[in-house]
Structure formats: structure tokens, C-alpha cells
Amino acid sequence: SILIVDFGSQVTQLIARRVREAGVYSEIAPFSQAAEVFERMSPRGIILSGGPASVNDEDPPLAPESFYDAGVPILGICYGQQVMTKQLGGNVLSHDMGEFGRAFVDIESDCTLFDGMWKVGERHQVWMSHGDKVTELADGFTPVATSEGAPFAVTCNEDRRFYGIQFHPEVVHTPDGARLIANFVRHVCGLAGDWTMAEFRKTKIAEIREQVGDGKVICGLSGGVDSAVAAVLIHEAIGEQLTCVFVDHGLMRMGEAEQVVSLFKEHYNIPLVHVDAEEMFMSGLAGETDPEKKRKFIGKTFIDVFEDEAGEIGGADFLAQGTLYPDVIESVSFTGGPSVTIKSHHNVGGLPERMNMQLVEPLRELFKDEVRELGRELGLPEVFVGRHPFPGPGLAIRIPGEVTKERCDILRKADAIYLEEIRNAGLYDAIWQAFAVLLPVKTVGVMGDGRTYDSVCGLRAVTSTDGMTADVYPFDASFLSRVATRIINEVKGINRVVYDYTSKPPGTIEWE
Ligand code: XMP
């Protein structure tokens, strides 16, 4: 296994992900607890992450000194390279000109990290983000690659198996980065690369059993992939100690609520309480047009209903949530400081504080595509696992302006036609998220010989890998006209269809 020492980088979890992709198990420990975790796990390699600090600060975060005498290979990335250099007697310069974004490195000598990929004399694209840089190597290190802004872009001490990289191999903008990390964990550390999602499942099941003991757990199902995968995994770990509560707010897509109920009750035989709370949500949303107020009302009401149900079930000690890594970073800044709230996400926070329960969040370090893989591993049906993400507040944030049951029904029909056409065209899996939006704008049209005065429907489709950035999906014009024609012909209340051509940023994926 690999121990990843976290110095507070925004992308430490990406290092863990790359290690998993190389087929190796890893754990992340904050630098202050790294020594303890090292003792417990006896890793075969250590990766020191990047971070916002400078080694020249007063009292900078350090790696435990003992790591350098443990006989275990070490890879330092960005701050990790600088801190290793400094701790071993080299030097780092602060407040110099930094390098941010795309850069190129020139390969000067061979190094185990480059095995089978980079050769002397070649130039390769990488992604840099640093202000400080190494200016004097520690004893025994040699430079093996340089960049314009960093003479020691890659350094190594092959005898001790210590490697330092100034750029970020964990991000996708370093095209060969994943292979560099794979070389470290396999060639340098000698790990076999046979760790799989099946192993993740076993490890998590053991962890859940240990955390929960014979306590009772309740899990809120949203109808989406994340909470479903979390629930199935937890059920596998603790069986009947888990009860699921599905708060049906009436803001789901066509047929979705029924699917959730049948999957859990019939397919998995997991105890499920289905609460039909549509009326409560609709009456509370009446007259409300402000996006944040809508989100907050839905979040709060969800919690109220959930809390009531939990009270009836009685005595649960743990609350399970399908929180993923991107939910965590979009909601809280990693270094503990406040980050700007773009939207109040509805599945993180709120519930645990109010209910005074411990959290069980087995998916907290995974990315969406990994959750899908785990879902397949657990035998969830493909239509469920492969489904596009759906936001907690549901259709309410796809109906700008006032939400009513009537408008939800109109939107559900349009959305179902759009998704059916996308599936028929074989495009569903190439798209991250596709949905219809019902605008609070009426326009004039002519149908048959009559005048119409009805709502506008917007269509959205984006590609993305994690929902944090997104590109517009470039449909053929003929596809879009087919969808538009069908929606206008088949859905009463809509007489005009438009396509949304906004990427994220500057737009967000959802309209509210
Ligand atoms: P935005 O609209 O912020 O959305 O670009 C990014 C991704 O997050 C989903 N989303 C949510 N998911 N609760 C969720 O579970 C929420 O409150 C929420 N709001 C947005 C959105 O569908 C997209 O996949």
C-alpha cells in the first residue's frame, strides 16, 4: 500500500485516485498524523502532496523525519518535493517568479519514474502551479528534468529511491502524469497493481462494520446513483441494521420514484420507508421564485421530513450519506477557510448537525465514475448505475420562477422525450448530463390555424468528467429539430424549444 501525506493541496484526492487507477491501495493522512498512520499501515511507498505553504515560512508543515530513514521509497510532488529537499539539506527559493498552468519539461537523464515512457532529449507537456522552487539539491540527488521556471523540475536519488517532481502528475493536464505515478508505485515500490474495486468493496465493508458495531443506521435515498450505491454497500456490510428512507418530494424525473422503490424493496430486499411528501413540498414552494430560497426550503423540508421518519423508526445512531469527493470540495474549502457559496448544495451538511448522529460516508473519497464502477461491482442494474447525475432539489431548480405540480408535470414529459431521443440515438453514455428546463417565459406561436401563447423549454446537454467544469454537447442540428418538434407536438403547455450553448464556467450546469 501507499501512504499519501496531505499538505493541504486542492488535488490530494487526485493522487489517491491515480494510485487506485494503477491498481494499488492507498490512504491519505494529514501531515500531522502521518507518523501514526505509517506505523499502522507499514506502507511500501510514501507520496508527499503539494500544498499552499512555503518551506521558508515560520513553522512550515513537515514530513516526519523518520520517513527519510524508513528505507521506503518517497515521491514528493510540488510542496512535497520542496519539503523533502529542505528537510534533507537542500534549499528552496520563495517569492520568485512562479509557473502556473501548462509548461514543458526537458528530459536530461534516465530515471525509474520515466521507465517505458520518457527518454533523454525529449520534451513533454506538464502542468505547473508553484511560486517557490528548489534551487539547491540535497546530497545524493541529481536533476533529471528541467523546465523554464524550474531547473529542478524532476530530481531523484535512485540509491535511496527518493523522487521529487515540481509539476503536478496527478492532474489530467499532465498527459503522462498517471503513468509517472504508476511507475512510482509499481516499478519503484514494486507493488503488483492487482488492487480492484472488489478490494475497495471488501475494505469498506470491514470499515463500516467496525464503525457501526451493532448500531442502527438510517440512509436517505435521493433516487440518484450515489445514495443508492452507498445504501447497497452498507446493507451488504450490516444487513437489517440499515433502514432506508426515501423522501419523495415530487420533484423527480418521469417514473423515477417507482424505480427506486422497486429496486430497493424487490431487488435488494432492503427495508425502505417511502414517504410521499409531494404536497408539503409543493405548498411550501408556492409563490417562491428566488433560487437560493427554493434550494434552502427544499433542503430544510427534506431534513424535517427525514427527521420525523427517523424519529418513528427510532433509535438510529448513524446517518449514512452518499457524499462524493467533489461534493466535499465544492462545499468546503479544504484548508478549512470559508469558500464562496455558488449554490447551497443540499446533500452536504445540515442534517448531521441537527440530528446529532455520526456520519457513515463510504464514498467520500470517490469520484463519480468510480462510484459507478463500484455500483456495477455490487450488481446494481446498468440503467441505474449509468444514469446521469440528478441534483438533490430535483426539478425545482430546472423550473426557474415558481414551481407548481402542473409545471413539474409539463417538464417531466418534455424531459422524458428528450432523454428517450438521446438514448435512441445512442448518445446517452457520451453525455454527462442532459435535461430539459421549463422557462417562466411565454411566447407566441402558431399551431394549425390558431395562435398559441405557451412556455419555452430549454434543452441542456454537457460533457464533463466530474461536474466541476463542463462543455456543451454538440448535437447535430437535425437531432435537435427532431426533439424540438416532438416536444412541441406532444407536450401541451410548450410551444418553443431552445438549446443552451453555455459551458461551465462561466455558466453552471443547472440553471439555478
Ligand atoms: P452546477 O449546477 O453547480 O452543478 O454546475 C454541478 C453538478 O452538481 C449537481 N447539483 C447538485 N447535486 N445536490 C446535488 O446532489 C444539489 O443541491 C445540487 N445542485 C447541483 C448538478 O446536477 C451537476 O451534476
Q: Which CA distances in Å does 273 have to 261, 306, 436?
A: 9, 10, 30
DSSP character string of 338-400: ----SS--SSSSSHHHHHT-EEE-TTTT--HHHHHHHHHHTT--HHHHTPPP--TTGGGGGS-
Kindly tell me the burial class for residue 264, based on how many C-beta atoms sit within 10 Å of its own C-beta (0-12, 13-18, 19 or more): buried
d(CA 194, CA 22): 8
The model's pLDDT over 274-284, given as tens digits with 9 standing for 90+, comes to 999 999 999 99
Q: Is 173 a catalytic residue?
A: no
508 lines ligand 1 (CB under 6 A): yes
Residue 334 has a pLDDT of 34
Nearest residue CA, atom 14 of ligand 1? 391
- As a whole number, mean pLDDT of residues 477-492 equals 98
Q: What is the pTM of this model?
A: 0.78
Comparing 23-27, 119-123, 167-171, 352-356, which segment has the lowest mean pLDDT? 352-356
Percentage of the residues of the chain whose pLDDT score is greater than 70: 94
* Model ipTM value: 0.98
Q: Ligand 1 atom closest to Cα of 397? A: 19
Residue 70 has a pLDDT of 97
Residue 353 has a pLDDT of 67
- Does the pLDDT at position 100 exceed 90? no
For a ligand 1 pocket test, name from 225, 292, 343, 397 the mutation site with the most ligand atoms within 8 angstroms of its C-beta.
343
- As a whole number, mean pLDDT of residues 408-434 equals 97
Task: Label residue 344 by pLDDT band (50, 70, 90).
Answer: low
d(CA 434, CA 72): 47
d(CA 102, CA 160): 30
What letters, b where the CB count within 10 A reaches 16 and e where it falls short, cover 296-327? bbbbebbbebbeebbeeeeebebbbbbbbbeb
Residue 427 has a pLDDT of 98
Residue 23 CA from chain centroid, whole number: 19
Q: Ligand 1 atom closest to Cα of 508? A: 5
505 Cα–ligand 1 center, Å: 14
For a ligand 1 pocket test, name from 226, 510, 512 the mutation site with the most ligand atoms within 8 angstroms of its C-beta.
510
Return the higher-pLDDT residue of 348 and 417. Answer: 417
d(CA 221, CA 248): 9
Mean pLDDT across the chain: 92
d(CA 162, CA 66): 14
393 lines ligand 1 (CB under 6 A): yes
Backbone angles phi, psi at 62, to 5 degrees: -125, 160
Q: Is 122 a catalytic residue?
A: no
Residue 351 has a pLDDT of 63
- Does the pLDDT at position 23 exceed 90? yes
- As a whole number, mean pLDDT of residues 250-269 equals 93
Residue 469 has a pLDDT of 80
325 Cα–ligand 1 center, Å: 13
Task: Label residue 328 by pLDDT band (50, 70, 90).
Answer: low
Residue 337 has a pLDDT of 33
CB 320 within 8 A of CB 234: yes
CB 163 within 8 A of CB 76: yes
List beta partners, residue 432.
none
330 Cα–ligand 1 center, Å: 10
Catalytic residue among 111, 124, 156, 170: 170
Q: Ligand 1 atom closest to Cα of 510? A: 2
The model's pLDDT over 422-450, given as tens digits with 9 standing for 90+, comes to 999 999 999 999 999 999 999 999 998 99
Backbone angles phi, psi at 208, to 5 degrees: -60, -45
Q: Is 78 a catalytic residue?
A: yes
Residue 333 has a pLDDT of 35
Task: Label residue 368 by pLDDT band (50, 70, 90).
Answer: confident
Helix/strand/coil for 14: helix
Domains and CATH numbers, the chain: 2-188 (3.40.50.880), 197-385 (3.40.50.620), 404-499 (3.30.300.10)
Q: Ligand 1 atom closest to Cα of 342? A: 3
- As a whole number, mean pLDDT of residues 6-33 equals 91
List beta partners, residue 414.
none
393 Cα–ligand 1 center, Å: 9
Nearest residue CA, atom 20 of ligand 1? 391
- As a whole number, mean pLDDT of residues 489-500 equals 98
346 lines ligand 1 (CB under 6 A): yes
Which of 10-14, 41-45, 306-310, 463-467 has the highest average model confidence (pLDDT)? Answer: 41-45
- Does the pLDDT at position 330 exceed 60? no
Q: Ligand 1 atom closest to Cα of 511? A: 2
- Does the pLDDT at position 350 exceed 80? no
- Does the pLDDT at position 340 exceed 90? no
- As a whole number, mean pLDDT of residues 379-400 equals 93
504 lines ligand 1 (CB under 6 A): yes
510 lines ligand 1 (CB under 6 A): yes
Residue 115 has a pLDDT of 95
Residue 332 has a pLDDT of 41
- Does the pLDDT at position 331 exceed 60? no
Q: What does DSSP say about strands 154-157 and 162-165: parallel, antiparallel, or unpaired?
A: antiparallel
Residue 9 has a pLDDT of 86
- Does the pLDDT at position 304 exceed 60? yes
- Does the pLDDT at position 194 exceed 60? yes
The model's pLDDT over 137-153, given as tens digits with 9 standing for 90+, comes to 999 999 999 999 889 99
467 lines ligand 1 (CB under 6 A): yes
329 Cα–ligand 1 center, Å: 13
Residue 369 has a pLDDT of 86
The model's pLDDT over 197-234, given as tens digits with 9 standing for 90+, comes to 999 999 999 999 999 999 999 999 988 899 999 999 99
For a ligand 1 pocket test, name from 298, 345, 361, 367 the mutation site with the most ligand atoms within 8 angstroms of its C-beta.
345
Kindly tell me the burial class for residue 115, based on how many C-beta atoms sit within 10 Å of its own C-beta (0-12, 13-18, 19 or more): middle
425 Cα–ligand 1 center, Å: 25
